Structures are given as C-alpha cells and as structure tokens.
Amino acid sequence: MKELAQETFQYLWQQALLSLAIALVMGFFAWKTVGQTRKGAWPLYLLVGLAGSFIGQLTLRYFNLKEVLDQVPDMRILFDLVIAYVGSFVLAALINFFKPM
C-alpha cells in the first residue's frame, strides 16, 4: 500500500500545476453537489479536491485499473477529471455527513 501511495503522489507531483487546477475545480463541484447551501472558500475546495484526487488515483491503482486507462492516453485528462470528482465527492459527502448544517 505504501508503494501505491508513493506512486500516486509521484504521478500527481509530476503534473503539479494541472493537478492543482483539477483539484480546485473538482473540489468546488463536489462541495457544491453535496452541500448546495453550505458556503466554502477556495482553500477548502482545493483541500477537498487534492485529497479527493489522491484518493481517486490511489483507488485506481489499488484495483489495477491504471493499465486499462493507459491504453487510451489521449483521454488521460478526462479520466483525471472524473477520478478527482468522484474522490472529492466521496470526501465531501463524508465531511457533510459528520458535520451537518
């Protein structure tokens, strides 16, 4: 598991600027999907997005789906967006579940 986490961190670090942009946008979308009336700030969206992106990429590697997605390299950014959104959505749902309005 440690190797998977290191591989995931290295993947996100190699494209740091793109990862930050994806994390901010997908964190915002996930937070607004889960807690529509709840206010948040961009650091919260970035934090939720980064953690969600990491969780999504780690899950992808854990279930060995990375090799399948690597067969379509032109769609990698789209896959990163979807993976980051799903991970951010799960994290935002957990946060909103344990800390209701």
- pLDDT tens digits, residue range 17-33? 999 999 999 989 998 88
The rounded distance, in Å, linking the Cα atoms of 23 and 43 is 11
Q: How many domains is the chain partitioned into structurally?
A: 1
Interval 53-79 mean pLDDT: 89
The rounded distance, in Å, linking the Cα atoms of 79 and 63 is 15
Range of the domain at 28: 2-98
Which is more confident, 54 or 40?
54
DSSP state of 99: S
Helical ranges in 1-101 per DSSP H: 2-14, 16-34, 42-62, 66-69, 76-98
pTM: 0.84
pLDDT score of 101: 55
Q: Is the pLDDT of residue 89 over 90?
A: yes
Phi, psi of 99 (to 5 degrees): -130, 80
